[in-house]
Chain A
């Protein structure tokens, strides 16, 4: 029977309606406020000079040129290390160890725990291991390697899910055609698992590029233009932290830097989803 609307039903309906929409609006407004605030205060300071010039007077004036370079280098080191390691481990876990394998289970459990470890812990570990034990000091290399440790769990687990999402009948029919496991992996499974890899990459890079705590102890504070990977370099997020917390009168540049960071994140996200939908179609074509 279809319930006829009456007053009490209407009230309940309206309450539900209002709370659902209220929650949605609250979230959206908060985000827009945040973004709007950053754009409002930051946009007027962004110029080509700001993006390329070195910071002056502890960052109150000048630009963020060296900081962008350091950020890029740290991210580069992080990806160069975490991508091959991540994909390799995911292949091993998804394709070469069974679900019941003790080694596989232990590895998966450890990764899940690691993915939830606070970044400051990674920072302390990076400082103790990369900076001190390996003697890399406060450097872009130390920072990038620490970030790689942080990103790896997310990257491995989501790439592994990508491999597991590939239907088993591809593997069976490939085997029945006498194709080697390597050929199957390279030509069928890897391209089919790329969406999972990209999701992990976006999540991981998003976390890495916005990271502050893990980098303070590893890549350091120095805002000079880095000359090698063994130089200390200041990442964008640390620059923002420093300007807003330690430098009075640095707010304007902090806002501008934050806006640059947000734009970088948007570009990375956009590129990843573009890659997922366009370039892959040449290799794997699903309907």
Chain B
């Protein structure tokens, strides 16, 4: 694995004009013939997908077609699930993600994950950001304070919480908690962000705020987002991948530029799904 750059604030600073970064169509994560079995039963099979650097890739499809399972393969969270077997190949740049001896702790620093339900730790707002930083070897108090401020500004939470950093994170509203969780991931300066329906547990207003935040991260992070909200996928995605269940097994039906998937899908299943006729 390539040595990681130290976590620095410069990662997070971006000139105001470049607020909305651009997605370059350059493959960053390559997934080849990926399959996942739970206790011998396949969840999804033979997914081959190329994810572009700095782009927002939306994974859409009905429930139970393996989108979330697919995400958890990328940061090897599947290791925690007993009876789960992953086969195939995932590479991030030159890194072989599924290699047996891989340092998953470093991998998960490069790949942040945001869950459906906001899950801040039952600590103070400050500690939520400080604890992962310290565990990843950032000891300098000033640097920690700078990173906390920069990431909280990044997610638009700084003005709301700067006077109560030591109050419980669980006292924040759902939307604020989710933004704090995003900040917590960003603090570790990841390259890829996996988002598992990050807006679906939020009220419409907070959902909009988080959606805008995700758009603002385009260009700086490679984002994979699972969403059931097709309208949202249309609004924010650069690329899209459509999953469907065939004979009880999840499969990738079609992937490509979002505009094409949503407007001129090649596959009839995709066409039926995005037009709302099925799924």
Contact = CB atoms under 8 A, between A and B. Distances in A.
A170 to B, nearest CB: 6
Interface in B208-263: none
Contacts of A286: 122, 168, 170
B75 interface: yes
Nearest to B110: A178
Contact of A284 (B82, B117, B119, B123): B123
A287 B121 contact: no
Contacts of A171: 80
B95 to A, nearest CB: 14
Interface in B111-132: 112-113, 115, 117, 119, 121-124, 131-132
Contact of B109 (A178, A187, A188): A178
Interface centre among B108, B117, B171, B184 (most CB of A within 10 A): B108
> Max chain B CB contacts within 10 Å: which of A98, A172, A283?
A172
Given A98-B82, A286-B122, A287-B168, A176 B108 contact: yes
Interface string B76-88: 0100101000000
B121 A173 contact: yes
A175 B77 contact: yes
B78 to A, nearest CB: 11
B106, B113, B185: most-surrounded residue (chain A CB, <10 A)? B113
Contacts of B105: 178-180
A179 B77 contact: no
Contacts of A180: 105, 135
A177 interface: yes
Given A183-B135, A285-B122, A285-B168, A175 B117 contact: no
Contacts of A172: 77, 80, 115, 119
Interface string B149-193: 000000000000000000111110000000001001100100000
A102 B49 CA distance: 41
A155 interface: no
B136 interface: yes
A90 B199 CA distance: 37
B107 interface: yes
Contacts of B113: 173, 176
A277 to B, nearest CB: 14
Contacts of B80: 171-172, 175
A173 B181 contact: yes
Contacts of A192: 122
Q: Main SS of chain A's interface residues?
A: helix
A285 B108 CA distance: 26
A121 B96 CA distance: 59
Interface centre among B82, B107, B123, B185 (most CB of A within 10 A): B123
B107 A178 contact: yes
B75 A176 contact: yes
A169 B131 contact: no
Given A177-B185, A178-B105, A285 B136 contact: no
Interface in A167-198: 169-180, 183, 187-188, 192
Nearest to A283: B123
A28 B135 CA distance: 52
A99 to B, nearest CB: 10
A177 B112 CA distance: 6
B117 A169 contact: yes
B155 to A, nearest CB: 16
Given A178-B132, A286-B122, 15 more contacts: A170-B121, A170-B122, A172-B77, A172-B80, A176-B108, A176-B113, A176-B115, A177-B108, A179-B132, A180-B105, A187-B131, A188-B122, A285-B123, A285-B124, A287-B171
18 contacts: A169-B115, A173-B119, A175-B77, A176-B77, A178-B104, A178-B105, A178-B109, A178-B132, A178-B135, A178-B188, A183-B135, A187-B131, A187-B135, A283-B123, A285-B122, A285-B123, A285-B124, A285-B169
- Sorted nearest first, the 8 A-B pairs with minimum C-beta distance are A178-B108, A285-B168, A176-B113, A178-B109, A169-B119, A173-B119, A178-B105, A177-B132
Interface of B: 75, 77, 80, 82, 104-109, 112-113, 115, 117, 119, 121-124, 131-132, 135-136, 167-171, 181, 184-185, 188
